[in-house]
Amino acid sequence: MKEFVDKLLNGISIGIVVALIPNALLGEILKLLIPHFPALQQVFDITVFVMSLLPIMIGVMVGITFKLTPIQTASVGIAAMVGSGVIQKNAEGLITLDGIGIVINTGITAALAVLFVQLLGDRLKAYSILLMPTLSILVPGMIGLMLLPLTTRSTGILGIAISNLTSLQPIVMGAIIAVIFCIMILLPISTVGMATVIMLSGIGAGAANLGIVAAGVGFAIASYKANSLGTALAIVFGTPKLQMKNFLLKPKIAFPMVITAAILGALAGLLNIQGTPFSAGFGLTGLVGPLNYINLAEGGWTAKNISIMLSTFFILPIIINLGLIYVFSKKLKMIKAADYKLDFD
């Protein structure tokens, strides 16, 4: 069971990154450029469309991680698409792709499809190419579709609960959410997937983003001496997950970043720093977090909003992490540069 879940989560994570990262990297920048370069609208539209391919990407990636045959893998992809809820029929009777679907239901459907195609095995023999895709729609695909209303309501309730809590206690909940996402980005769990599964938005999404920023900036600073400038930049603008192995071996190396995350998360509640379910899990990747804050902030690109954005996403993460890393390394002797060494050989 553990191996099955590990493979399933790995496939889901890869599918999420592949489908969502193009818009995450380019989307906000393109929005700024399109008014001046209208031809870029087509590029933006393509990245949005690719996001709607998330369910089939998840299905295919799950199939690959389970080392299924090409026909089985494609069938899992089809079933995941059916159970995701992304396929909608409008008033005119046209079939459209709406959003990215319900990620948790996509994952459940993909899991059912894997079990189904493994159960069939080679029983269909020469008829596999004819029957397996169809049966995958009729059995795991339709089961996933029937489960969709339940998972939609469940994730909606969870998202509303978090939203209400951040409204009632924005500073406390902001700090808690930031710490959770700071730790989560260092584990084999997709922060993007988690944020989209629970449809994390508002201050909760802003706090989550700042938690990831705290991890990225902190680990870049702490690991700079042990690695290279390129590796440090990859941690900040790529993913702090590069430090996952070091963190799992020595969790204490993340203490400065976790404290920084708590402070930044509290500021998210205090300053009303908001985000979206699609921005919450990316940190500084593609400048998604800071640009989303500006877009959602009242007044947009005002001097006040720009100052808050620069302070919370860039200046404070550097200053707070520097101070805490100094305390934990020089005063408390709990961490050292070698703890952050990365070996890519």
Q: Do the domain assignments include residue 164?
A: no
Q: Do the domain assignments include residue 345?
A: no
Nearest to 109 by CA among 131, 138, 69, 129: 138
Neighbour-count burial of 45, counting CB atoms closer than 10 A to its CB (0-12 exposed, 13-18 middle, 19+ buried): exposed
Task: Give residue 209's pLDDT.
Answer: 94
**What distance in Å separates the CA atoms of residue 264 and residue 270, rounded to the nearest whole number?**
10
- Are 212 and 148 within one domain? no
- Are 247 and 118 within one domain? no
Q: Do the domain assignments include residue 162?
A: no
- Are 181 and 326 within one domain? yes
Do residues 269 and 173 touch, judged by C-beta distance below 8 A?
yes
Q: Which of these three, 156, 180, 201, is where a domain ends?
A: 156
**What distance in Å separates the CA atoms of residue 179 and residue 207, rounded to the nearest whole number?**
9
For 133, the token pair is 């895709």
* DSSP structure class, residue 297: S
- Are 320 and 287 within one domain? yes
Q: Do the domain assignments include residue 21?
A: yes
Q: Which of these three, 131, 156, 181, is where a domain ends?
A: 156
Task: Describe the crossing of helices 128-136 and 103-120 by its angle, rounded to 10 degrees.
Answer: 140
Q: Do the domain assignments include residue 163?
A: no
Alpha-carbon torsion, ordered 306, 309, 311, 315, to 10 deg: -110
Q: Which of these three, 156, 182, 201, is where a domain ends?
A: 156
Q: Do the domain assignments include residue 84?
A: yes
- Are 326 and 183 within one domain? yes
- Give the number of domains in the chain: 2
For 95, the token pair is 């079939």
What are residue 275's DSSP bridge partners? Answer: 202
Angle at the Cα of 110 (from 106 to 111), degrees rounded to 5?
120
- Are 139 and 220 within one domain? no
Place of tokens 């008829």: 127
92-107 confidence digits (pLDDT tens): 878 888 878 887 889 8
Contacts of 273 (CB under 8 A, 6+ apart): 203, 206, 207, 210, 267, 293, 297, 308, 312
Other beta carbons within 10 angstroms of residue 24's beta carbon come to 22
Contacts of 260 (CB under 8 A, 6+ apart): 182, 214, 217, 218, 317, 320, 321, 324
Please provide the DSSP assignment of 228-247 as one string. -HHHHHHHHHT-GGGGHHHH
Q: Is the dihedral of CA 174, 260, 24, 187 positive or negative?
A: negative
Helix runs in the chain, H state only: 2-33, 41-51, 54-65, 70-84, 103-120, 128-136, 142-168, 170-184, 191-197, 202-223, 229-237, 244-249, 255-271, 288-296, 303-310, 316-326
φ/ψ region of 335 (left if φ > 0, alpha if ψ in -120 to 50, else beta) reads beta
- Are 252 and 142 within one domain? no
Nearest to 223 by CA among 234, 209, 211: 234
Other beta carbons within 10 angstroms of residue 209's beta carbon come to 37
Task: Give residue 169's pLDDT.
Answer: 86
pLDDT tens per residue across all 345 residues of the chain: 778 887 887 788 778 778 877 887 787 788 889 999 999 999 999 988 998 898 999 999 999 999 999 999 999 999 999 999 888 887 787 888 887 888 788 989 999 999 999 998 888 887 888 899 999 999 999 999 999 888 877 766 766 776 677 777 899 999 999 999 999 888 766 677 678 767 788 899 999 999 999 999 999 999 888 888 888 888 887 778 778 778 888 999 999 999 999 999 999 999 999 998 877 888 887 788 898 899 889 998 899 999 999 999 999 999 999 999 999 999 999 999 999 988 754
- Are 151 and 252 within one domain? no
Can you tell me whether residue 96 is helix, strand or coil? strand
- Are 148 and 220 within one domain? no
The amino acid present at 233, given as its one-letter code, is: L
201-258 confidence digits (pLDDT tens): 889 999 999 999 999 999 999 988 888 888 888 888 777 877 877 888 899 999 999 9
- Are 131 and 16 within one domain? yes
List the domain range (segments joined by +) for residue 14: 2-156
- Are 276 and 327 within one domain? yes
Do residues 223 and 312 touch, judged by C-beta distance below 8 A?
no
Q: Do the domain assignments include residue 161?
A: no
Alpha-carbon torsion, ordered 272, 278, 282, 285, to 10 deg: -100
- Are 54 and 177 within one domain? no
Q: Do the domain assignments include residue 215?
A: yes
